[in-house]
Amino acid sequence: MGIFDSRSVKLAGALVAGLWWSTAHAQSDITIALQLEPPHLDPTSAAAQAIDSVLYTNVFEGLTRFMGDGSIVPGLAESWEISDDGKTYTFKLREGVSFHDGAPMSAEDVKFSLDRARAEDSANAQKALFDGIAEVTVLDPLTVQVTLANPNGSLLFNLAWGDAVIVSEASIADIKTNPVGTGAYKFAEWVQGDRIELTRNDAYWGDAPALESATFKFISDPTAAFAAVMAEDVDVFDNFPAPENLPQFEADPRFQVLVGSNEGETILSTNNKQPPFDDIRVRQAIAHAIDRQAIIDGAMFGYGTPIGSHFAPHHPAYVDLTGNSAFDPEKSKALLAEAGMADGFETTLHLPPPSYARRGGEIVAAQLAEVGITAEIINVEWAQWLESVFKGKNFGLTIVSHTEPMDIGIYARPDYYFQYDNPEFQTLMETLNTTTDPAERDALLKQAQQIIAEDYVNGFLFQWAKLSVAKAGVQGLWADAPTAAIDLTSISWSE
Amino acid sequence: MSRGMWIGSVLTALMLGLALVSLVWTPYPYAQLDIPNKLLPPSLAHPMGTDHFGRDILSMIMVGIRTSMGVAIVAVAIGLAFGIPLGLLASQRKGGWVDEMIMRTNDVIFAFPLLAMAILITAVFGPSATNAIIAFGLFNIPVFARVTRGGALSLWEREFIFAARVAGKSRLRISAEHILPNILGILIVQGTIQFALGIQVEAALSFVGLGVQPPTPSLGRMLADAQTLVTIAPHIAIFPGLAIIGIVVGLNLMGDGLRDWLDPRIRVVRT
């Protein structure tokens, strides 16, 4: 009897065939790594970006949606009509859309979702998006009418947010652990602390996506992130946390590096109500003490665009106001002296975990020290940051990236954590909300950028670059991030 | 003196020297950023290169050693200051309620792993050098109390102590005049070892961000900062790592050597 009996030959043949099969057919699953894990899975009741990264457009959809280039296109609403006075929007819903539990999606669900989000006791993190809505009426199962108190030029944009997705009333009780949406992917499993798995929804109303399943893995440590990508344990790392490692990936033919813009205005947030920051001269002194390029080079290894106001440079209405707060330590010292603080002062600098904040914070502290301001660095975890800085407003300075799209409106909220209270700006924002003409809106937005830049509300540092690493064969990833999302429907593997 | 002790003493002296020199002079101001010159490899201008902010690594290490040693020394001092009196008190009446109370409290503190307790304390009261000192100092108290008690117990049975008691000296006075001088040797050895442990604890706490806060350099934090950069600029991890190894190995060798040297029984065997 020979060593190769017929059984083992067959087995070997099967193995070879199996190998051939797996290489000849494009991969149909993908593993995407994120740094932060969602706290729960309801995009309509938390500010955490990670929820949207996993679920937005994949599991949950809204009436309108963002595309990778930032444009707003129809989502669950097929089309809409706007009345002449700009106060009534009539949405025509798509036919044949059903939730993952099999129930059809109808106008009732839209009404439920919008009413839930704008309700008095709503836990929605972006309630302001729905502010102008007076009433949501169901005209027929596929038509829904949204009536506004005042015309709102940004309604279609607002409805595209992850916070405005359509949810089903039947599944709302356990949405935080078992999200049921209308998207191209169904929620399959969440192993807390490790991964979330999604599988393709075969009953999807739109074109069937290329990938059958997707796994989102959570890797918070930058070193582990580097190792996971290098070892090819993950196919994509969205928002790669260590910019210093990118040149290595770029040089490696196995990987591609995507550098795009995102909506993250990274700012040195200043407590405008806390002395001495209530003095505009002090805030201006801080602005002139900061060398943005040094921060971008030192903390982000060159990835980032300096900003002079709270506005994304890739937006058409952007004005470059960096000159308004150019690096000028002498002027800074003069301003401090004028404000009666020639010897500087002491304050705190709260730094959340991401490297832009921790590293950027060390640089900012050193630059402030040059003009005599002693900023005591306090490193905090996100939970602490939300509790003591964001909610408790108990801070002097902090560094954080505001990643919501078009969020200049937060400066019109005097109770927002940096507590900027300027009636002129608030009126301007109200005017903006009721303006629908694009050119007029752009003019107003430019004016808004100007006001907060000249009031030196916060130290405006840089627009965060979205840095992602992927295996060379992955196609269709969003390079830019108009909102936090990883749109699986556009992703495929090259043959 | 043994060869180990020589090596240990030289290493310790070198590190202590660097720390002391940093009080009056460092090649560059340790907090001075020079971002265009970041991650430079070792050169004449920067013997250990520069870090990711262009700071001079040699300057940072000199100050970092000082910080680490400072934390460790104060923590050991806390342990000595509280541990020795408690240990002496416990040994005076072996098995008495004072002894039981002190030693059982010690057992409770020992039941918690050192690092877990240090992380707990710094996490609750906020990360800072002071809290790192308190955390490790607290842990040092039972260590020294136990060593003191152990050493003292055997002495209480010795004739010269009986003589002192017959002469009418109080227990407190005997403890101070006869017991303490005779256990000084083991306390010095234990102190050296705790000192080395303190350096490691400080480095570990700083590594996870709970120790000394920036901009004060710390060896542990330098290592943590170097993590993602080690593949492109290995020197920024190697030098702080070597510094930690240098201090810890130096102190341990010196501690071992001191024990041999101070313990008369072993010395007799050797000579």
Residues A148-175: what's their mean pLDDT?
Answer: 89
User: What is the structure's pLDDT at A331?
Assistant: 93
Give CA–CA dist A485/B87, Å, rounded. 62
Nearest-by-CA chain B residue for A247: B232
Question: Are the beta carbons of A363 and B33 separated by less than 8 Å?
Answer: yes
Per-residue pLDDT band for A168 (boundaries 50, 70, 90) equals very high
A444 token code pair: 């107003």
Closest CA–CA distance from residue B18 to any residue of chain A (Å): 24
Query: Three-state SS string across chain B, please?
Result: CCHHHHHHHHHHHHHHHHHHHHHHCCCCCCCCCCHHHCCCCCCCCCCCCECCCCCEHHHHHHHHHHHHHHHHHHHHHHHHHHHHHHHHHHHHCCCCHHHHHHHHHHHHHHHCCHHHHHHHHHHHHCCCHHHHHHHHHHHHHHHHHHHHHHHHHHHHCCHHHHHHHHCCCCHHHHHHHHHHHHHHHHHHHHHHHHHHHHHHHHHHHHHCCCCCCCCCCCHHHHHHHHHHHCCCCCHHHHHHHHHHHHHHHHHHHHHHHHHHHHCHHHHHHHC
What is the per-residue pLDDT across A187-196, written as a single tens digit (0 to 9) for each?
Answer: 999 999 999 9
Give CA–CA dist A194/A37, Å, rounded. 8
To the nearest 10°, report the CA torsion of A199, A205, A210, A211: -10
Per-residue pLDDT band for A3 (boundaries 50, 70, 90) equals very low
CA A28 → CA A16, A38, A231, A495, B203, distances in Å? 20, 25, 20, 11, 46
Selection from A453, A450, A446, A452 nearest residue A326 by Cα: A453
What is the per-residue pLDDT across B207-236, written as a single tens digit (0 to 9) for each?
Answer: 988 888 888 899 999 998 888 888 888 999
Strand partners, A199: A186, A213
pLDDT more than 70, % of chain A: 95
What is the per-residue pLDDT across A40-77, written as a single tens digit (0 to 9) for each?
Answer: 999 998 878 889 999 999 999 999 999 888 888 999 99
Residues A232-241: what's their mean pLDDT?
Answer: 92
Question: Are the beta carbons of B231 and A359 separated by less than 8 Å?
Answer: no
Judge whether residue B42 has pLDDT over 80: yes
B163 token code pair: 């003589």
Give CA–CA dist A128/A117, Å, rounded. 10
Measured between beta carbons, the chain A residues lying within 8 angstroms of B36 are 297
User: What is the structure's pLDDT at A25?
Assistant: 55
Point out the residue among B126, B215, B227 whose CB comes nearest to the CB of A365.
B215
Closest CA–CA distance from residue B212 to any residue of chain A (Å): 11
B132 token code pair: 């790192």
Q: Which residue has the tokens 């550098």?
A: A259
Selection from B45, B153, B135, B32 nearest residue B90 by Cα: B153
User: What is the structure's pLDDT at B265?
Assistant: 63
* Stronger pLDDT, A436 or A233, i.e. the higher one: A233
- Best residue in B53, B205, B207, B221 for a mutation probing chain A (most A CBs within 10 Å): B53
Per DSSP, the three-state class of A212 is coil
Question: Are the beta carbons of B227 and A377 separated by less than 8 Å?
Answer: no
**Mean pLDDT over all residues of chain A?**
88
The beta-strand segments (E) located in A230-380 are 236-237, 255-270, 305-306, 346-351, 374-379
User: What is the structure's pLDDT at B94?
Assistant: 84
User: What are phi and psi for residue A481, nearest 5 degrees?
Assistant: -130, 85
Q: Which of residues 101-130 of B touch A (CB under 8 A)?
A: 126-127
Per-residue pLDDT band for A2 (boundaries 50, 70, 90) equals very low
Judge whether residue B264 has pLDDT over 70: no
Burial class for A9, CB neighbours closer than 10 Å (0-12, 13-18, 19+): exposed
Closest CA–CA distance from residue B239 to any residue of chain A (Å): 19
User: What is the structure's pLDDT at A4?
Assistant: 47
Measured between beta carbons, the chain A residues lying within 8 angstroms of B32 are 366
Residues A313-322: what's their mean pLDDT?
Answer: 88
The answer to whether the CB of A396 falls within 8 A of the CB of A271 is yes
Residues belonging to chain A with any Cβ–Cβ distance to chain B shorter than 8 Å? 222-223, 226, 242, 244-245, 247-248, 294, 297-298, 359, 361-363, 365-367, 369, 376-379
**Mean pLDDT over all residues of chain B?**
88
User: What is the structure's pLDDT at A406?
Assistant: 80
Nearest-by-CA chain A residue for B51: A298
Judge whether residue B239 has pLDDT over 70: yes
Q: Which residue has the tokens 């002894």?
A: B99
pLDDT more than 90, % of chain A: 60
Burial class for B173, CB neighbours closer than 10 Å (0-12, 13-18, 19+): exposed
Per DSSP, the three-state class of A260 is strand
Judge whether residue A147 has pLDDT over 60: yes
Q: Residue B106: which residues within 8 A CB-CB, separation 6 or more?
A: B141, B142, B145, B146
Point out the residue among A248, A298, A365 whose CB comes nearest to the CB of B52.
A298
Nearest-by-CA chain A residue for B233: A244
Nearest-by-CA chain B residue for A364: B33
Judge whether residue A335 has pLDDT over 70: yes
Closest CA–CA distance from residue A222 to any residue of chain B (Å): 7
Measured between beta carbons, the chain A residues lying within 8 angstroms of B37 are none
Question: Are the beta carbons of B228 and A378 separated by less than 8 Å?
Answer: no
The beta-strand segments (E) located in A271-429 are 305-306, 346-351, 374-379, 397-402
ipTM score assigned to the predicted complex: 0.76
User: What is the structure's pLDDT at B1?
Assistant: 66
Q: Does B184 touch chain A (CB under 8 A)?
A: no
Length of chain B: 271
Give CA–CA dist A481/A52, Å, rounded. 12
Q: Categorise residue A11: left if φ over 0, alpha if ψ from -120 to 50, beta otherwise.
A: alpha
What is the per-residue pLDDT across A357-390, written as a single tens digit (0 to 9) for each?
Answer: 999 999 999 999 999 999 999 888 888 898 889 9
Per-residue pLDDT band for A12 (boundaries 50, 70, 90) equals low
Question: Are the beta carbons of A244 and B209 separated by less than 8 Å?
Answer: no
Point out the residue among A222, A298, A365 whose CB comes nearest to the CB of B227.
A222
Q: Does B52 touch chain A (CB under 8 A)?
A: yes
B239 token code pair: 């030098």
pTM of the model: 0.78
User: What is the structure's pLDDT at A452?
Assistant: 92
What is the per-residue pLDDT across B149-163, written as a single tens digit (0 to 9) for each?
Answer: 999 998 888 899 899
| AA letter at B48 | M
Closest CA–CA distance from residue A223 to any residue of chain B (Å): 5
Question: β-pairing, A213-218 with A195-200?
Answer: antiparallel
Selection from A263, A239, A312, A264 nearest residue A66 by Cα: A263
- Please compute Rg for chain A using Cα positions: 25
Counting one residue from A and one from B, how many pairs have CB atoms under 8 Å apart?
56
User: What is the structure's pLDDT at B3?
Assistant: 85
Measured between beta carbons, the chain A residues lying within 8 angstroms of B33 are 294, 298, 363, 366-367
- Please compute Rg for chain B using Cα positions: 22
Judge whether residue A201 has pLDDT over 90: yes
User: What is the structure's pLDDT at A13?
Assistant: 52
Sign of CA dihedral A394, A400, A405, A411: positive
Closest CA–CA distance from residue A295 to any residue of chain B (Å): 8
A421 token code pair: 């209270």
pLDDT more than 90, % of chain B: 48
Give CA–CA dist A213/A199, Å, rounded. 4
B214 token code pair: 């920036």
Q: Does B271 touch chain A (CB under 8 A)?
A: no
Helix then strand then coil, in percent of chain A rounded to 5, is: 35, 25, 40
Give CA–CA dist B220/B115, Å, rounded. 14
Question: Which DSSP letter does residue A136 get?
Answer: E
The answer to whether the CB of A460 falls within 8 A of the CB of A269 is no
Closest CA–CA distance from residue B221 to any residue of chain A (Å): 12
Q: Does B29 touch chain A (CB under 8 A)?
A: no
Judge whether residue B267 has pLDDT over 80: no
Per-residue pLDDT band for B270 (boundaries 50, 70, 90) equals very low
Give CA–CA dist A413/A429, Å, rounded. 10
